[in-house]
Amino acid sequence: MQLQDKYRIAVLSAYALALHGFEALLPSPIPWFRLGLANIITITSLTLFGFRTAMMITLVRVVLGSIFIGTFLGPSFMLSLGGGIAGTCAMGAVHSVSKTLFGPIGLSLIGALFHNTAQLFLAYLLFIRRIEAVLVISPVIMLIGIISGFANGVVADVLIKNILKNDPDSIQNVARA
């Protein structure tokens, strides 16, 4: 890892953390409803800087975010960590197979889907232990994930285009993993 990678990860993690914290402050109409705004940063860094950077940012964001909000090592931290890792891995896998098949919106949808699936699976394993409850709730969660994933994808797309257009120098010296 180069020094520049470290700077990059630090700055992007700060952005992701800010979004993560901001989102925790928003009142949510449904208890399990979250926008996943921090995923915008994950998608952007995955597309511009590669999988390793994106995964580092996700890990830093989840751990530090839970420390700031006060849920570190609690149940929601487990769900957040599992969902974050699964989502980033899924997006990274798809992105490494083909860079042109899916755009940011498609990546965001995949990330949201895997994030939610992993969370449901973990919630089932750790807390609920009732397959009916999980089955009943999953279409709702999936639909919310599609909507918020789409919105995040649009923002990430605009962000990536703007960075590439206005500041192409910032993505030089990228060690593609």
Partner 1 sequence: MKKAIKNTTLADRALFLILLIISAAGFFYSGEALSLGSEVVVEVKGRPVYTLSLDVDMELEVEGSHGHGVVEIKKHKVRMKDAQCDNHICVRQGWISRGAIVCLPNDIVVIVEPGRKTDIDAITG
State the residues that interact with partner 1 by CB under 8 A: 31-32, 34, 75-76, 79, 100-106, 109-110, 113, 119, 123, 127-128, 130, 132-133, 135-140, 142-143, 146, 150, 153-154, 157-158, 161
Task: Let me know: does 156 contact 35? Beta carbons within 8 Å.
Answer: no
What's the farthest any 2 CA atoms get from each other in the chain? 52
CB < 8 Å & 24+ apart, contacts of 162-166: 163/44, 163/48, 164/48
**In terms of CB distance, is 139 or 172 closer to partner 1?**
139
Sign of the alpha-carbon torsion through 116, 120, 125, 131: negative
Nearest distance in Å: CB 73, partner 1: 14
Nearest distance in Å: CB 106, partner 1: 4
**In terms of CB distance, is 20 or 34 closer to partner 1?**
34
**In terms of CB distance, is 132 or 167 closer to partner 1?**
132
**In terms of CB distance, is 55 or 141 closer to partner 1?**
141
Closest by Cα among 91, 93, 96 to 110: 91
